[in-house]
Structure 1
Amino acid sequence: MGGYRSPLLDRPGAVEAGGLDRGVAAHYGDPVQEQRALVRTPGTVVDLSHKGVVTVTGPDRLSWLTTLSSQVLTGLEPGRGTETLFLSVQGRIETAPHVVDDGATTWLITEADETAPLVAWLESMRFALRVEIADRTDEWAVLGATGPVPDLDGVVWKDPWPEVAPGGWTYAVLDGPHPGEERIWWEHLVPRADLARTADGLRLAGAWAAEALRIAAWRPRWGAETDEKTIPHELDLLRTAVHLAKGCYKGQETVARVHNLGHPPRRLVLLDLDGSEHTLPAAGSAVLAGERTVGRITSVQLHHEAGPIALAVLKRTVDPAAPLVVVDGEDRYAASQQVVVSPSAGQVVGRQQGFLRGSGGLRP
């Protein structure tokens, strides 16, 4: 869908987003108020029609996807949302679709830029199995919401974050609830031809509102928090997207080695930014500890309660208490970090049980 432009950009006040959200609205005139509505007003939706939709059908679909990816999908209950990763041989994240099965079809919701590579990879791995892959992006559009939306009764992906899935593991060390527990996120599939009509009568919020809630929930996103070197451990994705006890798949050796014997080289953090500048740094801005560059901003937004916040990927060894500065051109922003992935993540063999927690009885 190169050059896609949503019909909802014709709504009053719509301002188009850039980056991963190009083609849909960043906001409709008041991003902070839209964010509050998204949290508090049922029936408020976010136009995510730029996302890709891929289907896999056939009796072998779930077992086949299990053999290729990081997650166990065999036996996935209809309607249960999960996610999986397709990795390189080196264990780096190549694609990370959202997954839901309706009993006959497995639906994969993707970022626009990962759709074609994912379809090509799946087609190359079909062999003689009873599966059919189709890019259905031209037929289906996605609307995001913080729960059920009246009259949207079709397929819906319910974000499992931050639940630790069976076979998963968390690298977060928390004194209280995970911030992601405050965020409920559903992605509804609607016929693309009916998108404008479906949105009539619903309150619209822009992509910036959804992004602010995602950042506050420590929720990583493909294409934002990931780059060509990202492994799942760096983003706490062993929590929801990796089953540590499943059989062999491409990249599994790296996943197991880093988890059991090593440490991920980088780690995800949330940054609370100094709001006195009344601006926000751009994604990609450098993060400095003293004069040393230790990472980069990956996502940034103004949160309706927390103020300016960002996700960043830093070198693992950065002191969690170190004062940080974000540099965007001539602008400098003081920042303090909330640890998402512990500096001690990984190397669980022989470690005291319960320090970094697993699920499903796994205690390497």
Structure 2
Amino acid sequence: MAEFPIVSESPLLTFPDAVASPPGSPDEGLPWHYGDPLGEQRAAITSVAVVDRSNRFVIAIPGDERLSWLHTISSQHVQALPDGTSAENLSLDLNGRIEHHFVQTDLDGVTWIDTEHDRGPDLLGFLAKMVFWAKAEPRDGNELAVLTLLGPDAGSAPVLAALGLEALPTEAYAAVALPGGGFVRRMPWPTEHSYDLLVPREKLAETFTALTAAGARAAGIWAFEALRVADARPRVGLDTDDRTIPHEARWIGSPAEAGAVHLDKGCYRGQETVARVHNLGKPPRHLVLLHLDGSADGRPEPGEAITAGGRSVGRLGTVVDHYELGPIALALVKRNIAPDTSLVVGPCAAAIDPDSVPADDTVQAGRLAVDRLRGR
């Protein structure tokens, strides 16, 4: 099992019924649930819930050239990102393998980035080293902390009043400033109604209290993770390994496509691998949703090998219990494994959700050109 550094305990662990995340989990230090984990998930789908994600590492980047500079060293097209909008982005190594996934929001002359807590310091260090002469000043931005509102009632009058807003952003990745500092942005996942709140860290408990008083259900990180897994959204370091490339993790696409890798932009580190796979090849693995046998004695651990007929065919990622689907997981499996293949991981039998298998029948433009040259 992967090991994750312990982060400072959230002040919300002192709230009534808060149960801490399991020791050694990637979200140790956050509330895991508040006594009814499956009910909390249901509220996030049917009404409104608020989740503490304050372990996200936040980076602030002021400077007149922040966007053009980020554009040259990351995978997304962000050179002309309008004020009050966001995008998902990746930092790749020279071989096109994923090192960092982050969400960036540009607002009032500052780009705010939030990423995994255990990878944030490395990302900040990389950005600082890559500035050279650009007018950009990456710094620790952890004066802001992340909460997430989920559910169709997130825009109700009491919740809006608690936030001091007249309305929430209506377009995916749009962001507006909060009166007390920070901002709210709309996300296209893990549900249809998802909003990240980046609030002053010293106001984290105050904001959470105001939202729950306004009718939002207090939900633990378990709820967010279950919905994320059901939506097949990977998490770097948990659902990926040091060989994972963007095509395997479903991160290809512009912001309009809820992707993190734009296929029509200039050079960046790792671009050769992205272009080669897109134009000529297929990724060796793809991300799928697994259904696990709930009657098994125990649950498998992230990072365990997935086998078929005793042969390793993949790697297990996040494992979580969903309020409707039961025990589910994300997994990177070999592309040639048929969806109806009987799988085993740890103590559990497992089955691929066929609806989660990416379409793989498109012939790439580069492959068509090669075939024409060869007279095929």
Shorter-chain TM band? 0.7 to 0.9
1:257 matched to 2:257? The reply is no
Partner of 1:285 in structure 2? 304
Q: Is the 8 A contact 2:88 2:103 kept in 1?
A: yes
Letter in 2 for 1:47: D
Shift of 1:196: 1.2
Q: Is the 8 A contact 1:6 1:23 kept in 2?
A: yes
**CA distance, structure 2, for counterparts of residue 114 and residue 339 of structure 1:** 31
Partner of 1:316 in structure 2? 335
Question: Aligned to 2:26, what secondary structure does the other structure show?
Answer: helix
Question: Aligned to 1:276, what secondary structure does the other structure show?
Answer: coil
Partner of 1:159 in structure 2? 187
Shift of 1:345: 7.2
Q: Is the 8 A contact 1:280 1:301 kept in 2?
A: no
Show CA shifts across 1:119-166 (max 9, x none): 1011101111111111111x11110122555333341233245xxxxx
Segment drifting more, 343-352 vs 270-279: 343-352
Shift of 1:54: 0.4
The match for 1:39 among 26, 45, 61 is: 45
| Unmatched tracts of structure 1, length 5 or more | 162-179, 353-364
**CA distance, structure 2, for counterparts of residue 334 and residue 59 of structure 1:** 51
Q: Is the 8 A contact 2:57 2:120 kept in 1?
A: yes
1:90 matched to 2:99? The reply is no
**CA distance, structure 2, for counterparts of residue 336 and residue 249 of structure 1:** 34
| Unmatched tracts of structure 2, length 5 or more | 164-177, 254-258, 369-376
**CA distance, structure 2, for counterparts of residue 350 and residue 254 of structure 1:** 14
Q: Is the 8 A contact 2:238 2:303 kept in 1?
A: no
Q: Is the 8 A contact 1:262 1:346 kept in 2?
A: no
Listed as ranges, the matches of 1:25-174 within 5 Å are 25-42=31-48, 44-137=49-142, 139-146=143-150, 147-148=154-155, 149-150=159-160, 151-152=162-163, 153=178, 154-160=182-188
The match for 2:238 among 224, 229, 233 is: 224
Letter in 1 for 2:21: A
**CA distance, structure 2, for counterparts of residue 204 and residue 307 of structure 1:** 21
Show CA shifts across 1:253-306 (max 9, x none): 111011111121111111122223375332223311111121122012111112
Letter in 2 for 1:299: T
Q: Is the 8 A contact 2:320 2:328 kept in 1?
A: yes
**CA distance, structure 2, for counterparts of residue 97 and residue 199 of structure 1:** 24
TM-score computed with the length of structure 1 as normaliser? 0.84
The match for 2:292 among 236, 252, 273 is: 273
Percent identity over paired residues = 46
Count, aligned residues = 328
After superposition, the CA RMSD in angstroms is 2.1
Q: Is the 8 A contact 1:20 1:111 kept in 2?
A: no
**CA distance, structure 2, for counterparts of residue 33 and residue 160 of structure 1:** 22
Q: Is the 8 A contact 1:143 1:187 kept in 2?
A: yes
Return closer, same or farther for 1:346/1:118 CA change in 2, 3 Å cut-off: farther
Shift of 1:38: 1.7
**CA distance, structure 2, for counterparts of residue 350 and residue 257 of structure 1:** 9
1:342 matched to 2:358? The reply is yes
Partner of 1:304 in structure 2? 323
Q: Is the 8 A contact 2:41 2:219 kept in 1?
A: yes
Shift of 1:245: 1.1
**CA distance, structure 2, for counterparts of residue 183 and residue 326 of structure 1:** 31
The match for 1:333 among 349, 365, 372 is: 349
The match for 2:8 among 4, 11, 19 is: 4
Q: Is the 8 A contact 1:259 1:347 kept in 2?
A: no
Q: Is the 8 A contact 1:98 1:157 kept in 2?
A: no
Return closer, same or farther for 1:223/1:104 CA change in 2, 3 Å cut-off: same
**CA distance, structure 2, for counterparts of residue 282 and residue 79 of structure 1:** 39
TM-score computed with the length of structure 2 as normaliser? 0.82
Partner of 1:22 in structure 2? 28
Return closer, same or farther for 1:343/1:295 CA change in 2, 3 Å cut-off: farther
Shift of 1:347: 5.9
Return closer, same or farther for 1:98/1:7 CA change in 2, 3 Å cut-off: same
Shift of 1:226: 1.7
Shift of 1:31: 0.6
Question: Aligned to 2:248, what secondary structure does the other structure show?
Answer: helix
Q: Is the 8 A contact 1:66 1:72 kept in 2?
A: yes
Shift of 1:200: 1.1
Letter in 1 for 2:75: S
**CA distance, structure 2, for counterparts of residue 308 and residue 341 of structure 1:** 18
Shift of 1:92: 0.6
The match for 2:226 among 189, 209, 212 is: 212
Q: Is the 8 A contact 1:261 1:348 kept in 2?
A: yes
Shift of 1:224: 1.6
